[in-house]
Amino acid sequence: MPELPEVQTVLDTLALRIRDRAITDIRILYKPIVSCSEKRFKQSLIGQHFRAFKRRGKYLLFEMDDLTLVSHLRMEGKYFILDEDTPFDKHDHVIFYLDDGKQLRYNDVRKFGRMELIEKDGEYESFKDLGPEPFSNRFNLEYCKEYLKNKKIAIKTVLLDQSFVAGIGNIYADEILYAMKIDPRSSADLLNDEEIQTMIQETRRILDEAIQAGGTTIRSYTSSLGVTGLFQLDLKVHTVKNCPVCHTKIQKTAVGGRGTYYCPSCQKLKKQTRIAITGSIGSGKSEVSRYLREKGYPVFDCDEENRDLLKKGNAGYEAVKKAFPECIVDGELDKSTLSSLIFGDASKKKQLEDLMHPLILERLKEHKEELLFAEVPLLFEAGWDRYFDQNLLVVTNQDILLKRLKDRGMSRSEALARLKKQMRVSEKKKRADKIIYNNGSLQELYDSLEEWLKEIPC
Ligand SMILES: [Zn+2]
């Protein structure tokens, strides 16, 4: 299937041969290729000149005097420029008679190609869903970051998605990922800024080099071969036997149903395991976080992030300022006013959560570590377990909990009220992947954690 460079090569070849030629007649031999009626197609195009040759993704755009002819080659469509006495081929489906006596013939063995008429500079139905051109400024770091951030699918699948970026097909996707040193199966949301920048640069470099390579084809075009846009590519990984850099045998696998080539030694697989740590207030989940941090594991702390987001000037502060202006006192967020405002008012509490949760989630997703722990006090209550691959529930007996909370200066009734507001432990236990009981000494807690860590894939 022709990709962006091949389509560009077809256009450039045709531009060189038929620019400013007029269409004197048209014959359609296989009607489904043309999307409108035969009558309209002929009436609109006869007498028109091929003025400009443009491209959008893998679409060819022939700008005529009054309208634009859009052509998609799909699998095997190609054009021939032939003398009028050349016998027809059985795969010639649309014939344009030109005013210099030659014919432009659209030939398509598979018959998948399509032609459509649109207004000049008009929007073709399919362009709506087309992503930016790889060479346009719209294909930039910010755009890619935003697009990739929630894509828990293989990066190769995203590169092939025409709504992400237009024009990349199976061959160039493999080549781009090889140049990026990223395994095609890597989760798209895990690419960091530097890797995204590399992806943009390598996409442009590889497509540009291919377009340059196509230049030879444009000049050496012979009518017998047809304008296919195909040329000899200098491929580094796609259908290659050994890696040109490390000489490891190139592996073939399937990604999203497409044959995919990669070097297992040069291309790194990016994946992430996110594990949530939760438990009632006073259960010891913070002790778990502290221990993991000490061991060198990255731990994301939702409460800490929440506090930071609410600092003056940060996103949470701005959102609260807008929604609850009465909580801003002397330009600072007054936490006690905010607490009393949402205390006992379920709808206000919900409103605040709806403001803060997406902001915290966004920060969580900025972490691309292979193994990431997160302390999430209301994991199940907020339905956040869906953002994690696994969760750990820390459970402590009610008597011990109450004693700990008392040590923190909470009265018994206050502590009971706090515990009552949370989801029942029996309910949490049903949703937990792993439960650690914290009823004994710290050393006992650490020992249980060490046992658990042995089961964690990393
Ligand atoms: Zn290699």
**Which protein residues have their CB within 5 A of the ion that is ligand 1?**
243, 245-246, 248, 263, 265-266
CATH match for 272-298+369-458 among 3.40.47.10, 3.40.50.300, 3.20.20.70, 3.30.365.10: 3.40.50.300
Q: Separation of 133 CA from ligand 1 center, angstroms?
A: 29
Q: Separation of 236 CA from ligand 1 center, angstroms?
A: 10
pLDDT in tens, 242-270: 999 999 999 999 999 999 999 999 999 99
Q: Separation of 244 CA from ligand 1 center, angstroms?
A: 7
Annotated catalytic residues are 2-3, 58, 258
Cα–Cα distance for residue pair 94/31, rounded to 1 Å:
8
pLDDT in tens, 33-46: 999 999 999 999 99
Count of CA atoms in the C-beta half-sphere (13 A) of 62: 26
Pure H helices in 107-251: 141-148, 155-160, 170-180, 193-219
Q: What pTM was computed for the model? A: 0.80
pLDDT in tens, 404-438: 899 988 899 988 888 888 899 999 999 999 999 99
DSSP 301-343: EHHHHHHHHTSTTSHHHHHHHHH-GGGEETTEE-HHHHHHHHT
Residue 26 β-bridge partners: 96
Token duo for residue 411: 């009265």
DSSP 297-308: --EEEHHHHHHH
Return the domain boundaries, the chain. Answer: 4-126, 141-262, 272-298+369-458, 303-366
Q: Is residue 230 predicted with pLDDT exceeding 80?
A: no
4-126 fold: N-terminal domain of MutM-like DNA repair proteins (3.20.190)
What does the mean pLDDT of the chain come to?
93
Residue 334 confidence (pLDDT): 92
CA 148 to chain centre: 3
CATH match for 141-262 among 1.20.59.10, 3.10.50.40, 1.10.8.50, 1.10.3720.10: 1.10.8.50
Q: What single letter denotes the amino acid at residue 210?
A: A
Residue 260 β-bridge partners: 253
pLDDT in tens, 4-14: 999 999 999 99
Residues 6+ away with beta carbon under 8 Å from 108: 30, 33, 73, 74, 76, 77, 78, 91, 93
What percentage of the chain exceeds 70 in pLDDT? 98
Q: Separation of 265 CA from ligand 1 center, angstroms?
A: 5
Q: pLDDT grade, residue 342 (50/70/90)?
A: confident
CA torsion sign for 77, 81, 87, 93 is positive
Beta strands in 203-284 (DSSP E): 251-255, 258-262, 273-279
Token duo for residue 173: 């996707």
CA 318 to chain centre: 29
Q: Separation of 206 CA from ligand 1 center, angstroms?
A: 18
The answer to whether the CB of 178 falls within 8 A of the CB of 198 is: no
CA torsion sign for 421, 425, 428, 430 is negative
Q: Separation of 156 CA from ligand 1 center, angstroms?
A: 18
Residue 299 confidence (pLDDT): 98
Q: Separation of 251 CA from ligand 1 center, angstroms?
A: 10
Token duo for residue 405: 């909370």
Cα-Cα end-to-end distance for the chain = 39
Q: Separation of 242 CA from ligand 1 center, angstroms?
A: 8
